[in-house]
Amino acid sequence: MRFPFVGGPTDAATGAAGGNRSGCVRGRPRGGGRLARVTPQAPGTGRLVLAATPIGDVEDASPRLRRLLEEADVVAAEDTRRLRALAARMGVTVGGRVVSHHEHNEAATTPELLDVVRGGGTVLVVTDAGMPAVSDPGFRVVSAAVDAGLTVTAAPGPSAVLTALALSGLPTDRFCFEGFPPRKPGERLRALTALEREPRTMVFFEAPHRLAATLADMATAFGADRPAAVCRELTKTYEEVVRDGLGALAAWAAAGEVRGEIAVVVAGAPAREVASEADLVAEVLARADGGERLKDAVAEVAQVAGVPKRDLYAAALAARGR
Parts of the chain with a pLDDT under 50 = 1-33, 36-43
Picking from 143, 158, 173, the residue at the C-terminal end of a domain is 158
Question: C-alpha 249: how far from its chain's center?
Answer: 21
Interatomic CA distance for residues 189 and 230, integer angstroms? 18
Residues 161-214 have pLDDT tens digits of: 999 999 999 999 999 999 999 999 999 999 999 999 899 999 999 999 999 999
Interatomic CA distance for residues 127 and 134, integer angstroms? 10
Picking from 137, 158, 179, the residue at the C-terminal end of a domain is 158
Residues 227-264 have pLDDT tens digits of: 999 999 999 999 999 999 999 999 999 999 899 999 99
Whether residue 150 is found in the same domain as residue 166: no
H/E segment holding residue 253:
helix 246-255
Q: Are 148 and 174 in contact (CB under 8 A)?
A: no
Spatial neighbors of 171 by CB under 8 A, at least 6 apart, are 201, 267, 268
Whether residue 153 is found in the same domain as residue 167: no
Instruction: Give the number of domains in the chain.
Output: 3
pTM: 0.72
Interatomic CA distance for residues 37 and 119, integer angstroms? 8
What's the CATH number where 258 sits? 3.30.950.10
Q: Are 249 and 215 in contact (CB under 8 A)?
A: yes
Spatial neighbors of 187 by CB under 8 A, at least 6 apart, are none
